[in-house]
């Protein structure tokens, strides 16, 4: 006991402690060629050691590691002589680590330093240098990573590092430890409240097993592994391989916005996936993602140049389910999608997409099925100039099924619309659209009638259709060539058509006759949305009208409709049938009843038809044919 006390007292003499520290430092310099400076060493009773102002210089004579205070307890002084540093708890406070990669070099300065402890043995065999510690406590640390091969990039740093790791071991160039809980702030100003994992570093790989990462708003549970050759670090983003098994992630957009400022903040995403590849070319396999705003993404996504977008970012995906809505997309990316999503997308309601997608900054190649609240589309399209999506160009094949076109056009007379065909043009709104269309309309609901079998070959431009149309509906068979203009509140039609058969009663155009069929050649130049507001001229040639009473043929027949204030004038010119006009305020479908009321009023026994109030009628006609019955009986 007396001898032990004398030894302890002797070791507590400051000059002797400093001498011992210098001896150890000189030994490390001589044995491993490392530049370590210790300002003061305090040796305490039972092997406790405290080093003050420890400075490690890297191979470019810059600061590699500095700590204001390092305290530990040495378990075996004998092992220290044999390069076996066996410590208990090590505490580092107010430390700095600068991990610099210098221009033209592959290895960073920390790797160069650690390599000096490598005696050349392989990783699964004992190394000449061994450092162990039961615990490593970190307080107020700062780590900075700079690659001078890429001086334009902002340095990566971690500040306010605090926490504990257990079972630390440095064996030659290999490092092992269990991180129990580190907190720090990284260079995007994201505050990590907890980082825990089983960490391994070798010359070939880095493992982060059982990783838990937590912030105030987010948490991630994953296994992460980097594999590499040492020279790969010169181009980490493109050469180092990544394997990540993200078991559970709950990530707030508040945190993600620190990395990508275009994101909104009003949502939180929850996902799992397995990631393979490299930082600039990785695949998120079997991604299952939901958000608090009810968005869903399921599928496999391949991201390229995410970290070097100047080289051309791209996303290739196989989507089994992408579900969202217009408002959520604008919330997610208010400055990107908020400006580029087609404004008509709002009316789609909640939508679901599945299929294959390839996306760059300027192009979308999509083989997708889109299900919305107002219909379904199946597309095989390539879109370009997507920076302004309302005016984007596109080419490909599209199929639209049961699409509520009336909701898009804000027209209650228009209903569901189904078409399949080829498109080539630009624009996604009716105002900006300039598109050639060749296909078949299998369904077009108008005025409570469902037209089908309509062949199209023409151009849709700024709410205009100019081209050919062939209709083979059961109740309408015709060939159309000309212009239909829907660009204003009042529609304009300028076309020629050959009508082989048209049942005006069934298609809800002319309901007065129970049978109301017409055929012939027709040239129409009119404006209006219904028979009650049409203005213009209709020319019939070689036409046949059939109702329940008879067949009426006429070679030439011209009808002109005009308005002066609220007074409507319909003029009829035909040398075979009738000449004259009718003026007044009236509804077209009640014109026959009004005429009968007018003629019958001279008879006391006549019982007038019930008609809408406020109508008046004045007519002058010269009759040549009983076809007058078509209009007035």
pLDDT above 70 coverage of the chain, percent:
83
Tens of pLDDT, residue by residue over 245-293, are: 999 999 998 998 887 777 788 889 999 999 999 988 999 999 999 999 8
The gap from C-alpha 179 to its chain's centroid, in whole angstroms, comes to 36
Rounded distance, CA 486 to CA 158, Å? Answer: 61
Those residues with Cβ within 8 angstroms of residue 197's Cβ, 6 or more apart along the chain or in another chain: 178, 179, 208, 209, 210, 211, 212, 224
User: What average pLDDT does range 420-434 have in this prediction?
Assistant: 84
8 Å CB contact between 42 and 54: no
Tens of pLDDT, residue by residue over 430-473, are: 677 888 989 999 999 998 999 999 999 999 887 788 899 899 99
Closest CA to 355 of 399, 313, 420: 399
pLDDT for the residue 338:
65
- Helix (H) and strand (E) counts for the chain? 11, 32
User: What average pLDDT does range 501-519 have in this prediction?
Assistant: 86
β-strand partners of 517: 503, 546
Of 279-293, 340-354, 381-395, highest mean pLDDT: 279-293
**Local confidence band at 485 (pLDDT 50, 70, 90 cut-offs):** confident
pLDDT for the residue 173:
75
User: What average pLDDT does range 294-300 have in this prediction?
Assistant: 93
Helix (H, G, I), strand (E, B) or coil at 272: strand
- Give 340-379 as a 3 state SS string: HCCHHHHHHCEEEEEEEEEEECCEEEEEEEEEECCEEEEE
Mean pLDDT of the chain, nearest integer: 81
Tens of pLDDT, residue by residue over 34-76, are: 677 777 766 665 567 777 888 888 888 898 888 888 887 765 4
pLDDT for the residue 28:
59
- pLDDT reading at 1 higher than 50: no
User: What average pLDDT does range 586-596 have in this prediction?
Assistant: 70
Closest CA to 377 of 407, 408, 400: 400
8 Å CB contact between 92 and 137: yes
Helix (H, G, I), strand (E, B) or coil at 432: coil
pLDDT for the residue 407:
85
Rounded distance, CA 468 to CA 441, Å? Answer: 13
Higher pLDDT, 395 or 514: 395
Burial 499-522 (b: 16+ CB within 10 A, else e): beebbbbbbebbebbeebbbbbeb
């Amino acid at each position: 006991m007396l001898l032990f006390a004398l030894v302890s007292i002797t070791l507590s003499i400051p000059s002797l402690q400093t001498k011992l520290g210098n001896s150890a430092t000189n030994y490390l310099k001589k044995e491993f060629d490392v530049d370590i400076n210790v300002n003061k060493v305090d040796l305490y009773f039972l092997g406790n050691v405290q080093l003050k102002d420890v400075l490690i210089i890297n191979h470019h004579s810059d600061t590699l590691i500095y700590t204001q205070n390092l305290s530990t307890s040495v378990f075996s002084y004998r092992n220290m002589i044999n390069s076996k540093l066996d410590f208990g708890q090590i505490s580092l406070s107010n430390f700095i680590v600068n991990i610099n990669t210098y221009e033209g070099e592959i290895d960073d300065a920390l790797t160069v330093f650690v390599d000096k402890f490598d005696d050349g043995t392989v990783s699964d065999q004992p190394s000449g240098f061994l450092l162990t510690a039961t615990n490593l406590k970190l307080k107020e640390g700062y780590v900075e990573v700079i690659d001078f091969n890429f001086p334009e990039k902002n340095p990566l740093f971690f500040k306010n590092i605090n926490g504990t790791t257990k079972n630390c071991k440095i064996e030659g160039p290999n490092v092992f430890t269990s991180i129990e809980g580190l907190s720090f702030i990284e260079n995007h100003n994201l505050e990590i409240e907890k980082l825990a994992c089983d960490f391994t570093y070798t010359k070939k790989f880095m493992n982060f097993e059982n990783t838990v990462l937590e912030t105030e708003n987010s948490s991630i549970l994953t296994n992460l592994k980097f594999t590499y050759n040492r020279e790969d670090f010169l181009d980490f983003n493109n050469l180092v391989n990544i394997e990540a098994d993200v078991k559970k992630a709950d990530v707030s957009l508040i945190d993600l916005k620190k990395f990508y400022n275009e994101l909104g903040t009003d949502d939180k995403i929850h996902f799992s996936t397995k990631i393979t590849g490299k930082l600039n070319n990785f695949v998120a396999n079997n991604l299952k993602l939901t958000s608090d705003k009810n968005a869903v993404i399921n599928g496999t996504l391949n991201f390229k140049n995410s970290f070097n977008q100047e080289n051309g970012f791209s996303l290739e995906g196989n989507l089994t389910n992408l579900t969202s809505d217009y408002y959520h997309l604008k919330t997610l990316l208010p400055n990107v999608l908020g400006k580029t999503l087609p404004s008509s997308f709002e009316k789609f309601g909640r939508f679901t997409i599945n299929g294959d997608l390839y996306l760059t900054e300027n192009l979308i190649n999509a083989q997708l099925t889109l299900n919305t609240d107002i219909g379904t589309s199946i597309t095989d399209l390539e879109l370009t100039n997507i920076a302004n999506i309302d005016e984007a160009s596109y080419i490909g094949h599209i199929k639209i099924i049961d699409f509520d076109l009336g909701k898009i056009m804000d027209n209650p007379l228009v209903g569901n619309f189904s078409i399949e065909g080829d498109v080539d043009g630009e624009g996604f709104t009716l105002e900006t659209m300039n598109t050639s269309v060749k296909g078949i309309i299998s369904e077009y609901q108008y005025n409570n009638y469902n037209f089908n079998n309509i062949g199209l070959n023409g151009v849709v431009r700024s709410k205009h259709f100019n081209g050919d149309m062939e209709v083979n509906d059961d109740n309408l068979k015709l060939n159309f060539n000309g212009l239909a203009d829907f660009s204003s509140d009042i529609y304009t039609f300028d076309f020629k058509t050959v009508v082989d058969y048209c049942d005006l009663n069934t298609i809800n155009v002319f309901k007065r006759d129970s049978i109301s069929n017409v055929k012939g050649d027709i040239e129409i130049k009119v404006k209006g949305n219904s028979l009650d507001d049409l203005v213009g001229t209709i020319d019939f040639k070689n036409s046949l009208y059939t109702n329940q009473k008879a067949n009426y043929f006429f070679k030439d027949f011209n009808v002109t409709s005009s308005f002066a204030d609220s007074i409507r004038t319909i003029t009829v010119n035909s040398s075979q049938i009738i000449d004259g006009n009718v003026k007044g305020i009236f509804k077209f479908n009640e014109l026959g009843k009004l005429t009968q009321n007018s003629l019958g009023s001279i008879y006391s026994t006549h019982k007038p038809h019930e008609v809408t109030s406020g109508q008046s009628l004045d007519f002058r006609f010269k009759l040549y044919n009983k076809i007058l019955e078509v209009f007035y009986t």
